[in-house]
Amino acid sequence: MSALWLEFILILCFYGTAWTDADVEGVVRKHVGQSVTIQCRSTSNQETLNLKKGLHEERDIFYATVHSDKRTIDSKFTDRLQYHEKFPNVEILIKNLTLNDTGPYWCVYKTIENYGQKITKGSGSVLLVVTEKPSTVVVRECQPPQNDMVLWAVVIAAAVLILILSIPLIMMILKTKPSHNTVKRRQQVPVNDVYEDMRGTIRR
């Protein structure tokens, strides 16, 4: 949340300062470790170019002059800054960005006119916002289950269902089946006793 507030404040300050003074290219957002290219351009003849950083242009990052091949680079950018130029148009590359590189960068040109110095801002000024790299989340694709596993699951589910449905049927069969003792008793009762008594009486 603090990074968003910082970016918001920087944007307000940058545009409030530069809206009427410079040809502002806009906001450039980068992650830590990436690179940014600032293209300073001027349509008129210029004597010097300063790439300045800060709301009040308080820090000189890069200095070039048309009268000399010597270029001055801030000590904290020496190993990270490269430039390509056809003066007054200079392309400045800053590599391996850090959070401290966040801020406005101004292309400030100077020339001598009528025994005086004229300062103008060329196009290419940007507000650089450097943020931490987003956390990399490893998303693993869900692999479909193997056919054998699906088949076994279906078989087990069917077996359980059949068992549940067959229990009430088995209980009904057991209730309606006659007991063994009743059958035995029926077999012990003689069937022809009445007829035998009648035969014996007649014979007498």
Query: Nearest 5 degrees, angle CA 12-CA 13-CA 17?
Result: 115
Average pLDDT, the chain: 78
Radius of gyration of the chain (CA): 49
Residue 159: the pLDDT is 85
Residue 123: the pLDDT is 92
Residue 8: the pLDDT is 45
Residue 67: the pLDDT is 87
Place of tokens 């801020």: 103
Distances (CA, A) of 80 to 69, 73, 98, 136, 183: 20, 10, 11, 26, 107
The 10s digit of each residue's pLDDT in 109-168 is 999 887 788 999 999 999 999 999 876 555 555 555 556 777 788 888 888 888 888 887
Residue-range domain boundaries for the chain: 2-131
* Residues in CB range of 99: below 8 A, 6 or more apart: 32, 130, 131, 132
Which CATH homologous superfamily contains domain 2-131? Immunoglobulins (2.60.40.10)
Residue 175: the pLDDT is 78
Contact between 48 and 65 (Cβ < 8 Å)? yes
Mean pLDDT for back-to-back runs of 10 residues, the chain (204 residues): 47 46 71 96 91 94 92 95 92 96 96 85 94 68 61 83 82 71 52 57 56
Residue 199: the pLDDT is 59
Residue 178: the pLDDT is 61
